[in-house]
């Protein structure tokens, strides 16, 4: 993207999400959407000496709000955001941000690393979203969502050849709804609505690898692929990014056991399985479910679940089998195909050694398996490696 003739701000990816274990995003720590426009304002107004001079009143107005001194209104809300930025040492100042007055001239420095892991938001993009009237929504939340998507989209380096000429990885992301739910707290319905608005505003384009089922699933339960997002561009570059992005997504190791269908329209053809599952759950509540019923329930849930295992099953089985890993649990249940899948996953995540023994505590293993998402595989591998290193250093 050529920014030579366009105003823009740089915002850290950690504003929206973190790839470090036990580290929350800045938005979550601060607990207010206003953390976004405040950081935007601070970046915009920093001078060459890395100093920002401002009044609380000017900040509130420039962020699109009206100053209001009433309790829990805009003045107090912005003070709280600034105070938390000061506590996080993202801004440094001799002033106590909790006590600043609306017209008092404040001086602070911006202490945030923007050399990498940042997203660029242009004034044109920001204006399109904040001024949109396509649907009546919270435009600030919509802006946060767009910038979040943009921060997730892979960025080719300047040294890379043009995608159409030299090939390589496309500028896309396939972040799933569950990850967005966790990072931003948006519902599936809101995400779908926001996607439509951003497409209508010519800011993003969305594709899909199509529906799929596991190659070794005898039930052939159909599942939907994650959306694949790219930024809209003039010309056909966005189309090329989607085409190459879908091709790359299908080639990922986590998708080797999937059969992608040509149909991209999702139809719930799992009704029979859902009905059978409901019948077994009813038996469980009545206390009449047999061991055969429970085994069949696990098979069905594994078939229709979005990941290798259904979270409720994982939690239930681990809580009932203290000290035993999932591959061994499923082996005892005679679910050999599922046991093999978990064994492969446990090796891929480096949770067990060549002898099949855990290299982390069982409690930590449970945390990993209960929270694991295919879309965040690399994140979990990094967390596990870091934990193993720390354990070795502590010995």
Q: Please give the average per-residue pLDDT across 201-215, as a whole number.
A: 92
Residues in the chain: 395
Do 31 and 94 lie in one domain? The reply is yes
Query: Per-residue confidence at 305, pLDDT binned at 50, 70, 90?
Result: low
Averaged confidence pLDDT in the chain: 85
Would you say residue 99 has pLDDT above 50? yes
Higher pLDDT, 203 or 262: 203
Would you say residue 159 has pLDDT above 60? no
Q: What is the DSSP track for 118-147?
A: EEEEEHHHHHHHHT--SS-S-HHHHHHHHH
Which pLDDT value is given to residue 357?
83
Do 84 and 148 lie in one domain? The reply is no
Q: Please give the average per-residue pLDDT across 353-373, as a whole number.
A: 87
Do 147 and 215 lie in one domain? The reply is yes
Say if CB 333 and CB 321 are below 8 A apart.
Answer: no
* Domain contains 223: yes
* Domain contains 266: no
Task: Look at residues 260, 293, 327 and tell me which one is the last residue of a structural domain.
Answer: 260
* Domain contains 22: yes
Task: Look at residues 190, 225, 260 and tell me which one is the last residue of a structural domain.
Answer: 260
Three-state DSSP at 106 gives strand
CA distance to 164, 281, 360, per residue, from 275 (Å): 48, 10, 39
Would you say residue 146 has pLDDT above 80? yes
* Domain contains 280: no
Do 206 and 111 lie in one domain? The reply is no
Q: Which two tokens stand for residue 149?
A: 């998507």
**Which domain, by its residues, includes 250?**
135-260
Do 251 and 216 lie in one domain? The reply is yes
Do 167 and 232 lie in one domain? The reply is yes
* Domain contains 265: no
Q: Please give the average per-residue pLDDT across 304-310, as a whole number.
A: 48
**Hey, which of 81-85, 169-173, 220-224, 333-337 has the most confident mean pLDDT?**
81-85
The number of folded domains in the chain is 3
Which pLDDT value is given to residue 53?
97
Do 102 and 166 lie in one domain? The reply is no
Do 104 and 145 lie in one domain? The reply is no
Which pLDDT value is given to residue 333?
67
- Does the pTM exceed 0.75? no
Which pLDDT value is given to residue 164?
52
Query: Per-residue confidence at 61, pLDDT binned at 50, 70, 90?
Result: very high
Three-state DSSP at 393 gives helix
Do 106 and 153 lie in one domain? The reply is no
Which pLDDT value is given to residue 11?
96
Do 148 and 112 lie in one domain? The reply is no
Which pLDDT value is given to residue 222?
81
Do 152 and 242 lie in one domain? The reply is yes
Distance (Å, whole) CA 257 – CA 213: 8
* Domain contains 361: yes
Task: Look at residues 118, 151, 179 and tell me which one is the last residue of a structural domain.
Answer: 118
């Amino acid at each position: 993207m050529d920014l030579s003739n366009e105003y823009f701000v740089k915002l850290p990816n950690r504003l929206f999400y973190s790839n470090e274990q036990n580290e929350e995003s800045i938005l979550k720590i601060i607990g207010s959407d206003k953390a976004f426009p405040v950081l935007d304002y601070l970046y915009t107004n920093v001078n060459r000496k890395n100093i920002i001079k401002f009044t609380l009143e000017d900040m509130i107005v420039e962020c699109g709000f009206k100053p209001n001194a009433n309790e829990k209104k805009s003045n107090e809300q912005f003070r709280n955001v600034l105070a938390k930025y000061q506590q996080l040492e993202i801004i440094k100042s001799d002033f106590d941000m909790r006590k600043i007055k609306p017209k008092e001239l404040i001086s602070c420095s911006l202490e945030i690393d923007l050399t990498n892991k940042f997203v660029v938001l242009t004034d044109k993009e920001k204006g399109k979203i904040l001024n949109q009237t396509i649907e009546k929504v919270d435009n600030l939340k919509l802006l946060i969502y767009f910038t979040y998507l943009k921060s997730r989209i892979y960025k080719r380096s300047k040294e890379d050849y043009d995608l159409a000429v030299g090939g390589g990885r496309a500028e896309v992301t396939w972040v799933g709804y569950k990850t967005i739910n966790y990072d931003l707290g948006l519902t599936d319905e809101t995400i779908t609505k926001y996607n439509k608005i951003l497409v209508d505003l010519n800011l993003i384009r969305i594709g899909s690898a199509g529906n799929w089922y596991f190659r070794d699933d005898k039930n052939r339960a159909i599942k939907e692929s994650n959306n694949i997002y790219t930024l809209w561009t003039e010309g056909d570059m966005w189309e090329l990014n989607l085409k190459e992005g879908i091709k790359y997504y299908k080639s990922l190791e986590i998708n080797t056991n999937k059969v992608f269908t040509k149909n991209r329209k999702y139809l719930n053809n799992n009704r029979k399985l859902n009905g059978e599952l409901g019948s077994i759950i009813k038996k469980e509540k009545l206390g009449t479910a047999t061991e055969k019923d429970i085994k069949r329930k696990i098979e069905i849930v594994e078939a229709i679940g979005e990941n290798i295992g259904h979270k409720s099953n994982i939690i239930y089985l681990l809580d009932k089998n203290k000290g035993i890993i999932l591959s061994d649990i499923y082996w005892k249940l005679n679910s050999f195909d599922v046991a093999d899948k978990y064994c492969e996953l446990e090796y891929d995540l480096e949770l067990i050694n060549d002898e099949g023994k855990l290299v982390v505590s069982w409690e930590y293993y449970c945390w990993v398996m209960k929270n694991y998402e295919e879309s965040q595989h690399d994140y979990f591998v990094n967390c596990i490696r870091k934990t193993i290193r720390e354990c070795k250093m502590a010995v």
